[in-house]
Structure 1
Amino acid sequence: MSSRTRSMFAAVCAVALLGAGCGTTSTNAGAAGGGPDPAEVCGGPGEEYTIGVSQANVAEPYRVRMNADIRRAAAEVEQFDEVQFLDAAQDNSRQVSQIRTLITKRVDLLIVSPNEAAPLTGVVGRAYNSGIPVILLDRKVNGDSYSTFIGADNERIGRKAGEYLAEHLLPEGGEIVELRGLSGSTPAAERGRGFRAGIEGSGIEIIATADGQWLRAEARSKMAAMLKAHPRIDAVYGHNDPMAEGAHLAARTAGRAEGTKFVGIDGLPTPSGGIKAVRQGRLSATFVYPTGGAEAITAAKRILIDCESVPRKRTLPTQLVTRENAAEVYRRLNSR
């Protein structure tokens, strides 16, 4: 959008704000504390917009699917002229540099899935306070310098995973290992904290944990080491499906997959995703964790085109997937 057009629309929007025409992009957008001015960022349906997407990595199938969902939804909005995807490859410094470049380019809106919270907080705040709306997707930063966060409730999912293990897979208790996501990412902390609440008082003991960095190969290596150190492992809790699958591969190689339970999170409805792994018996359960890609584009449209407010937080629904409902969930998610 040209600066002249922005200024003209800002004048119109300023008048409309006295009525009900132009909303705010977040609870504090345009306020004294900083953040985008809704009158400046919303150009209406007559303009074209560039969106920058800063992705933590594309080594995870979940993030590949997220980008695909963003791309598919953006293609249905004719005003979204360009969507620029950048891959941080799990490198905080690289992601900071990439976001700085997007700020310099003055993209109209940023969608960010931070690699880790603390290292990305400053540059996300810089973008937001420079007047660029920021949608945080799946992972958070510290503080509140963003327009909206979209993601599922990771702590609740972790708790449900713990409860399912305690009530259905190991009702008599047992010894389990946990493969955690990247230590500085908010879902890792939340999924771990929730899980511990879910198994509390159950007789289940976490005998070892390891950081699998959300990656199948890394988790397989860490699981191989834990199998050597622990002659008994009754179950594995992986913070995502690729790590749970990596653990299963390691256990199968060691001849110890039989009788061991594997639980993951993501539930991608793809041929190599977690739902198929449940159907085929490699995982005992997973939890659908929506990518939020389509919802992020809906929020971007409301901010840039419709001049409407968006909530500071949108919590996406999830679902437990077991052998009993895996086929139905797979069909339903692929019929959308």
Structure 2
Amino acid sequence: MKKAYRSAVTVVLICLLGISGCGRKSDIHTDSYQYLIGVSLTNVMEPWLNNLVQVLSERQKEDTAVNMIFRDAAGSPEKQIQDIQSLLDNGIDLLIVSPDGSGSLDKTLEQVREKIPVVMAGVGSEKDCCTSLIQADDEKIGRLAGEYILEHLYEEGDRIVVIEGVKGSPISEKRHRGFLDAVKDRIPQEQIVYDYGDWLRDQAELRMKDYLVSHEPADIVFAFNDEMAYGAFLACQQYRAAEGVHLIGVDGFEGESAGLNLVDRGILDATIQSPDFGSMAYDAALALLYGEETAHNLTIEPQLITENK
């Protein structure tokens, strides 16, 4: 874009409590920065958004021209609208936002984009209310999982559990659709049980326990993120049903209980890696702030990881 959005501001770096990578509960800086970026998150309890915060925070520490203010809506669209207004009141030069996919932010974001650039991450909108949109190929994620199961794990008669994210989530729906495309006419649908784990480990653990109480042990579990895959594993362990079960997750982050480590430990057979939202959002934000041309749609290509080299 032709116009560069520039301002010299004195800012307060506000870290979200409970998000790893943000440092102390209150980090106050009185230095002058050239740009202030606001980050509005739908719910940092979702692992990919927690990772987004960590990556953005790490990138910002290396750049003396930029500072950031983070806001977490804790799953409330109403609070997220208030958060965005609060960020505007703080004089941000650019907004990075992760909506919940319901369209509840569309009108607000259309108004924001008239004033400053908007980088949207994760879920798009039917309306054109952002300057740059960063998405994973979620249908391909589901398709990669289905193809891997068919080629390497599935045997006739195997029982499969698919643990999706939040009911109605566009990301979850696309992964479901991709998975179905891969396995249709190959695996009878009566052998597949679907449930929702809300993207959270403890919820997936509870749902997996519910399944084990009323069914024979599963042979294969595909969870729509690694946290839920690990929750399913913990449930199988507690019910002495972990032996022989194959687990596949999504995200492929680094960390003690994250996907790459779970693959290394043999807990997951595979994870589908799509971890670049933070870096791509930061690069897009800087390009826009410096007046450079940036693609409107940026897609992250997923990669199947069966061992962490």
Kept after mapping to 1: 8 A contact 2:120/2:134: yes
- The alignment status of 1:39 with 2:25, answered yes or no, reads no
Distance in 2 of aligned mates of 1:204 and 1:164: 17
1:73 paired residue number = 59
Alignment of 1:206-285 (within 5 A): 207-285=192-270
Distance in 2 of aligned mates of 1:173 and 1:99: 50
Distance in 1 of aligned mates of 2:236 and 2:304: 24
2:38 paired residue number = 52
Distance of aligned partners of 1:173 and 1:138 in 2 relative to their CA distance in 1, 3 Å threshold? farther
Distance of aligned partners of 1:173 and 1:41 in 2 relative to their CA distance in 1, 3 Å threshold? farther
Residue 166 of structure 2 aligns with an amino acid whose one-letter code is L
1:204 Cα shift? Answer: 4.7
What's the TM-score, normalizing by structure 1?
0.79
Distance in 2 of aligned mates of 1:142 and 1:89: 23
Corresponding residue SS for 2:48: helix
Residue 103 of structure 2 aligns with an amino acid whose one-letter code is A
Identity of aligned residues (%): 34
Kept after mapping to 2: 8 A contact 1:117/1:142: no
- The match for 1:292 among 261, 273, 277 is 277
Equivalent residues, number: 285
2:174 paired residue number = 190
Residue 146 of structure 1 aligns with an amino acid whose one-letter code is C
Distance of aligned partners of 1:93 and 1:173 in 2 relative to their CA distance in 1, 3 Å threshold? farther
- Please state which structure has a larger fraction of its residues in helix: 1
Alignment of 1:291-330 (within 5 A): 291-305=276-290, 307-322=291-306, 325-326=307-308, 328=309
1:173 Cα shift? Answer: 5.3
2:125 paired residue number = 141
1:41 Cα shift? Answer: 2.9
1:280 Cα shift? Answer: 1.2
Kept after mapping to 1: 8 A contact 2:6/2:34: no
- The match for 1:169 among 153, 161, 175 is 153
Deviations 1:262-291 (A, max 9, x none): 111001122221111112121111111114
Distance in 2 of aligned mates of 1:121 and 1:211: 26
Corresponding residue SS for 1:264: strand
Kept after mapping to 2: 8 A contact 1:286/1:321: yes
Range moving further from structure 2, 250-259 or 101-110: 101-110
Kept after mapping to 2: 8 A contact 1:175/1:204: no
Distance in 2 of aligned mates of 1:183 and 1:103: 31
Corresponding residue SS for 2:199: coil
Residue segments in structure 2 that go unaligned for 5+ positions in a row: 9-31
Kept after mapping to 2: 8 A contact 1:174/1:204: no
1:47 Cα shift? Answer: 7.5
Alignment of 1:93-172 (within 5 A): 93-128=78-113, 130-172=114-156
Alignment of 1:2-21 (within 5 A): none
Distance of aligned partners of 1:105 and 1:275 in 2 relative to their CA distance in 1, 3 Å threshold? same
Deviations 1:93-120 (A, max 9, x none): 2222211222333411110112333223
Corresponding residue SS for 2:68: strand
2:48 paired residue number = 62
Distance in 2 of aligned mates of 1:202 and 1:90: 37
Kept after mapping to 2: 8 A contact 1:96/1:120: yes
Deviations 1:52-84 (A, max 9, x none): 00122222343222111111212333321x200
